[in-house]
Structure 1
Amino acid sequence: MEFFNSALGKNITFVRPAYFIISGFIGIPNIKFYYVFLFFVYIVSVLGNTIVMAVICLDRNLRTPKYIAVFNLAFVDLFGNSALVPKLLDIFLFNHRYIPYNDCLAFLFFCYTCLSMQALNLVALSYDRLVAIIFPLHYQVKMTHRFMLSLIASFWILVIIAVLIAVGLLTRLSFCKSVVINSYFCDHGQIYRLACNDYTPSFVISVLLPFVILWLPLIFILFSYLYIGFALSKVATVQERVKAFKTCTGHLSLVAIYFLPILITFTLMGNIHPNARIINLSLTSVFPPMLNPIIYVLQTQEIKESIKKLFKIRVQSKITTKK
């Protein structure tokens, strides 16, 4: 982060605290039950996403462009919840609310990177469904392994650069007032508002980042499904429409689980209690990674068949070994 500071002049001195204090869940009644719930969510998330990743790796029939995106989503969900939930429980359950300055910025970077990649990964899956339904005869040509890998890699690069800029701008802020972050993690917005010097660049990036990483993906997904709906309306038979729509139900469920809680929380932001806001925001962070693998296992026929096949092979190998 020295690049951001050297660009402003060598004689500028920034007041950096030794630590921040995370105060998010303090004072909420019966909050320990919520911690138990978060632990359960984390365990289910780890098991579910690990199973999805293992099934895609073991079954060669699932090594398609679509399941490259599904694998990446499972990896992001697993990595994101592993970056957030254990640290969150350590902070509040074991009362380790003092987090060093550099650790806080690293915590912020990993959480924001994973949350952003979840949204962009839904864009990749949306584009896959769009091509599959609108251009079914050209799907194999348009949607190749190389294209999907390039798309996901470009999303990773975009997100990492954007979040690094946001974190880098925080390093040019001086904190000579409070060091208490009123959130459940090292929240970018809560941190820059604690600064006692000009935080305009951080404010600008806090406006641009959600627009690029959150709202643009949502707009693309909505327009892609409007286009799909328009195309399906021209299909001759109802059975063909239903068959085409069924291929989208899993992805639509993921989109609803990820975006609806965020939209509801930010729409009612000024009308709900701060404690309720913190609970809602924490749920929007940890819930989708838990539900995504469950939805894909239950609503995707290929994965269900693959799990049955792998389980059958394992049972048969055990029987053969015993004989």
Structure 2
Amino acid sequence: MDRGNHTASEFILLGLSSWPKRQELVFGLFLVMYLVGAAGNLLIILAVGSDSHLHMPLYFFLSNLSLVDFCFLSATVPKMLVNIQAQTQSISYGGCLAQIYFCILLANMDNFLLTAMAYDRYVAICHPLHYSTKMGLQICVLMLGSSWLIANIHSLLHTLLMAQLEFCASNVIPYFFCDLVPLLQLSCSNTQLNQLMILLVGGLIVLIPFFGIFISYIYIASAVLKVPSAQGKQKAFSTCGSHLTIVILFYGTITGVYLSPSSSHSADKASLASVMYMVVTPMLNPFIYCLRNRDMKGALRKLFSVKALSCEL
């Protein structure tokens, strides 16, 4: 596609460039976060796949969430590390569009999978006798497949609309990755359609799952409060604790990045908030589940004991 002479061929990702004398520290910090996050998420996938006791809907969605978080980290952090090593801040036009596509896709999938896990907990606590029928394998696969389809259509919509724009002024993006909103602010084309799609389609895709999770937890809390014993209440709440922690972390960081007024924070603060959303949250998710979930702890112990035994043999 011919983009004309007025469209930037590359963009500059400022990232954390305000710390020019600390780039080695930034490189080391992001490398450690990437390796820890990647290893943690891959271990979750391996543990769920290897332990037959975890072959149930909740852990089916959890393993897919870990896969999405691993891809989330890989969509942005390696490019930043390469730029620091090469002492450059540039990203090509095509590379920028690719980052936008994958970031929207994976953020949507995080949103949908957290909603599916909330529904799973709702059915397990509020309708335990119907759990096997309401959360059967076919239903879980249908939920996952439809989530990927909607997420792909949504990300493709914004990427194709972005590809129609021209960029003839500044090409500097204040984040360490290409994000939709700051890129629209750089365009010299009419972006009303793009903004309308963000408001309507993007708003629905974020708000509908959010309210789905919110309503699920209202029913869960109501059901748990009716449990007569304190031990029963604690056990019921403990099955939701890890998921609820991840939900708060996910939506909290989204709020910090996209809903805080631009006048209230500098570019550095916006970049740090994006690091929380794009790097820290995907890195922490597997550890939240491992530390708070007894079944995951047991599966990981089995996994490591089998590995140790095979190494000895």
Tell me, yes or no, whether TM beats 0.5. Answer: yes
Residue number in structure 2 paired with 1:294: 287
8 Å CA contact retained: 1:25, 1:92: no
Give the letter aligned to residue 129 of structure 1: R
Q: CA shift at 1:133, angstroms?
A: 0.3
1:61 to 53, 57, 64: 53
Give the letter aligned to residue 137 of structure 2: H
In 2, Cα distance between the equivalents of 1:81 and 1:208? 27
In 2, Cα distance between the equivalents of 1:288 and 1:116? 15
8 Å CA contact retained: 1:113, 1:160: yes
8 Å CA contact retained: 2:11, 2:91: yes
For residues 73-104 of structure 1, give each alpha carbon's deviation from its aligned partner in whole angstroms, at most 9, with x where no partner exists: 01001111011111122234533322221121
TM-score, with normalisation over the residues of structure 2?
0.92
Give the letter aligned to residue 284 of structure 1: Y
2:223 to 225, 231, 234: 231
8 Å CA contact retained: 2:40, 2:287: yes
Gap change, CA 1:313 and 1:174, over 3 Å in 2: closer
8 Å CA contact retained: 1:21, 1:181: yes
1:204 to 158, 175, 196: 196
In 1, Cα distance between the equivalents of 2:306 and 2:173? 52
In 2, Cα distance between the equivalents of 1:315 and 1:99? 43
Residue number in structure 1 paired with 2:114: 122
Gap change, CA 1:316 and 1:293, over 3 Å in 2: same
Q: CA shift at 1:37, angstroms?
A: 1.6
Bigger mean CA offset, 58-67 vs 264-273: 264-273
Give the letter aligned to residue 206 of structure 1: I
Aligned residues: 311
2:70 to 75, 78, 81: 78
Q: State the SS of the aligned residue for 1:26.
A: coil
Gap change, CA 1:36 and 1:216, over 3 Å in 2: farther
Bigger mean CA offset, 121-130 vs 85-94: 85-94
Residue number in structure 2 paired with 1:252: 244
Q: State the SS of the aligned residue for 1:193.
A: helix
Q: CA shift at 1:224, angstroms?
A: 1.1
Residue number in structure 2 paired with 1:9: none
Q: State the SS of the aligned residue for 1:21.
A: strand
Q: CA shift at 1:279, angstroms?
A: 1.1
Q: CA shift at 1:55, angstroms?
A: 0.9
RMSD: 2.2
Structure 1 segment 264-283 matched on structure 2, within 5 A: 264-265=256-257, 266-267=259-260, 269-283=262-276
State which structure, 1 or 2, has the greater radius of gyration over its C-alpha atoms.
Answer: 1
8 Å CA contact retained: 1:108, 1:187: yes
Residue number in structure 2 paired with 1:309: 302
For residues 200-226 of structure 1, give each alpha carbon's deviation from its aligned partner in whole angstroms, at most 9, with x where no partner exists: 111112223542333332222122111
Q: CA shift at 1:275, angstroms?
A: 0.9
Q: CA shift at 1:49, angstroms?
A: 0.7
For residues 244-302 of structure 1, give each alpha carbon's deviation from its aligned partner in whole angstroms, at most 9, with x where no partner exists: 11110110111122122222443364312221111111222111111111111111111
8 Å CA contact retained: 1:42, 1:81: yes
TM-score, with normalisation over the residues of structure 1?
0.89
Residue number in structure 2 paired with 1:26: 17
In 2, Cα distance between the equivalents of 1:169 and 1:110? 15
- In structure 1, the gaps of 5 or more residues are 6-11
8 Å CA contact retained: 1:115, 1:285: no
Give the letter aligned to residue 245 of structure 1: F
Give the letter aligned to residue 265 of structure 2: I
Q: State the SS of the aligned residue for 2:186.
A: coil
- In structure 2, the gaps of 5 or more residues are none
Identical amino acids, percent of aligned pairs: 31
For residues 175-233 of structure 1, give each alpha carbon's deviation from its aligned partner in whole angstroms, at most 9, with x where no partner exists: 22222223221111122222222111111122235423333322221221111111222
In 2, Cα distance between the equivalents of 1:222 and 1:16? 43
In 1, Cα distance between the equivalents of 2:171 and 2:256? 29
Q: CA shift at 1:26, angstroms?
A: 2.6
